[in-house]
Amino acid sequence: MDKFSTLFPMTTAKKALKWQFISLIVFVISWIFPIYAQDNSTVKAAKPTLIFGVVPQQPAIQLAKLWPPILAALSENANYQLQFATAPDIPTFEQRLKDGQYDIAYMNPYHYVVFHDHPGYQALAREKDKKLKGLLVVRRDSPIKSLAQLEGQTLAFPAPAAFAASVLPRAHLQQDNINVKVKYVGSHDSVYLAVIQGLVEAGGGVQRTFNNLSEAQKQQLTVLWQTPTYTPHAIATHPRVSTAQRQMLLERLMALSTTAQGKALLESVDFSAFTAAEDQDWDDVRSLKLGSLTKPLGKK
């Protein structure tokens, strides 16, 4: 018995309270990460577990509520078991992609171009009939009504290589000789919050994450400018994922939009449907000839 237990012996009531607390923690964990709450029969089946990484455009706790139900549906009666994973911020996610830590990953277009070359992620699926565009947002009551008025102002962006939310708007500002101060805040949601709170004058995001804001938050923001459109995010697999696993996952991704339950899951993350993808789908991004991952614009 340790010193603390000797000085403060646990009563029966305290023991009961302790176990109630432990039970509550177990319940919360199983609710946030339902994919881990497996029964013994699932474990005994010993299906290979594939780590599915999701780019942290939103806080990890939010992604952990939205994505595991989708992965559970994609894993049902499959030849694999998908396990949700993300990262605390986009640069950490990029490092994990570089290290090949994810078997499958939902990544932005620029990430795909970079990490297709090494460690060799292969395109599997992308959103159907969808193009990606970035946004610059300001507070609804902001006096800024044009890009030119951003001269000398501080802007928030998720990370240097956040393609539509950072790379594209920064490139356009640089092209128009509009000089701004840049602050990287880790996620799209953090950008919107910084603008709402008046910590910066404007910030970069994308339509999907903007749509996922609460109505109260959206009412405080307005879109100042939108980028041209590009091929959207990729779902791509590491070379170690088998052809049979890729084929089954692709079929299940495309089938989500054919059932009411699947549509509801897609709508929860503001998706409509998936289609098969090929590597050349991202040649539009390659044509931009971006710089290094940490400094994609070279000059800044």
Complete DSSP assignment for 16-55: HHHHHHHHHHHHHHHHH-GGG---HHHHHHTPPEEEEEE-
Secondary structure element (H or E) that encloses residue 134, with its range? strand 134-139
What pLDDT does 34 receive? 39
Q: What are phi and psi of 237, to 5 degrees?
A: -115, 145
- CA neighbor of 73 nearest in space, from 299, 249, 287: 249
Give the integer Cα–Cα distance in Å for 38 and 45.
Answer: 11
Per-residue tens of pLDDT for the chain, all 300 residues: 443 343 334 444 444 444 444 444 433 433 434 333 344 444 445 899 999 999 999 989 999 999 999 999 999 999 999 999 999 999 999 999 999 999 999 999 999 999 999 999 999 999 999 999 999 999 999 999 999 999 999 999 999 999 999 999 999 999 899 999 999 999 999 999 999 999 999 999 999 999 999 999 999 999 999 999 999 999 999 999 999 999 999 999 999 999 999 999 999 999 999 999 999 999 999 998 887 777 787 544
What pLDDT does 1 receive? 46
> Checking DSSP bridges between strand 104-107 and strand 154-157, what pairing results, if any?
unpaired
Q: Tokens 């701004």 correspond to what residue?
A: 180
Q: Tokens 């449907």 correspond to what residue?
A: 273
What pLDDT does 291 receive? 74
Distances (CA, A) of 278 to 150, 234, 281: 38, 10, 6
